[in-house]
Amino acid sequence: MSTHEFFSEHFGELVGRGAQAAVYAREDIAVKVYNPGYGKEHVFYEAAMMGFVEAAGLATPRPIEVLSVAGQMCLKMSRVTGQSFNTVFAGDLGRARELTDDLVRLQMEIHGKQITLPISLKYRLRDRLRFNLNLDPARRQALLALCDLMPDGDALCHGDFHGANILVDNGAYGVIDWIEVAKGDALVDASHSYMTIGITSREWAELYLERYCAASDAEREDILRWLPVQAGSLYGLIPDKFSPLLLKIMDGQW
């Protein structure tokens, strides 16, 4: 029996797969099965953060328990159903502005929550730059210097907020994948969203930035200035096809 067949038998059909985990679901329960060797401390962190977020009244899966099954860490949670926001957006481009406004409102609702969290977004990004051996030393030092100028902030930041991590069910939105959640500056979090959206659609990214600035009274330059840090934190850690673009972003040529 293959690994996939084993977990499917135990937890239900495969409903999602990412770089770090696969998600299986049966009825109203979903189980996130992490890759072999994935650190248990990260799994417990995600479960704890989901609990804090749930308590804050945000629409998110409810954590139930952390398991070790066949040598792999698993997180059991309530199931959030629906289509990916990206799928909904691509299928209804005539409502692009309206849907993007919904996206921005949801992100700003998250930013408006005050939750005591143990991890700072700024220092998480700094550590990722410091230990990213894919960066040449000069580039790393320049990015670390920029990161040091970043405000600390105390907003609740999802850390990976984009359409693939939002599910839509009859007009209701649910946010998933809270492993990157941290406290920090909302505009730094928005810069990650802009870059992640822009990697696949620069036009949509510009619409997102326009609508975010309109809703928050932020200046676009105060969001864009952090793009090199975001790009450097991901360089070499996501598929190689994105590396040339990340280099351009780090060099301010995007």
* Predicted local distance difference test score (pLDDT) of residue 114: 83
Distance, CA of 171 to CA of 62 (rounded, Å): 20
pLDDT of 253: 92
Average per-residue pLDDT for the chain: 96
Please report which confidence band the pLDDT of residue 19 belongs to, taking 50, 70 and 90 as the band edges: confident
CA distance to 43, 164, 214, per residue, from 94 (Å): 39, 20, 20
- 96 near 102, Cβ under 8 Å? no
Domain 83-250 has CATH 2.30.42.10: no
Say how far apart CA 209 and CA 192 lie, in whole Å.
11
Q: What residue segments make up the domains of the chain, in order of their start? A: 3-78, 83-250
| Nearest Cα residue to 186 out of 165, 216, 210 | 216
HEC profile for 137-158? Answer: HHHHHHHHHHHHCCCCCCEEEC
**The predicted structure's pLDDT at residue 18:** 85
10-35 in b/e form (b: 16+ CB < 10 A) is ebbeeebeeeebbbbbeeeebbbbbe
The answer to whether the pTM exceeds 0.85 is: yes
Alpha-carbon distances, residue 4 vs 7, 13, 24, 38, 77 (angstroms): 5, 10, 10, 17, 19
What's the pLDDT band for 50 if we cut at 50, 70, 90?
A: very high
Q: Does the structure show a pLDDT above 90 at 240?
A: yes
For residue 218, report the phi and psi dihedrals to the nearest 5 degrees: -80, 155
Q: In Å, how far are 88, 159, 168 from 82, measured between CA atoms?
A: 10, 22, 5
**Number of C-alpha atoms within 13 angstroms, CB side, residue 152?**
5
Q: What pLDDT digit, counting tens, does each position of 115-142 carry?
A: 888 899 999 999 999 999 999 999 999 9
CATH number of this structure's domain 3-78, picked from the four choices 3.65.10.10, 3.40.640.10, 3.30.200.20, 3.30.365.10: 3.30.200.20
Pairwise pLDDT comparison (182 vs 114), residue with the higher score: 182
Phi/psi at 24 (5° precision): -115, 150
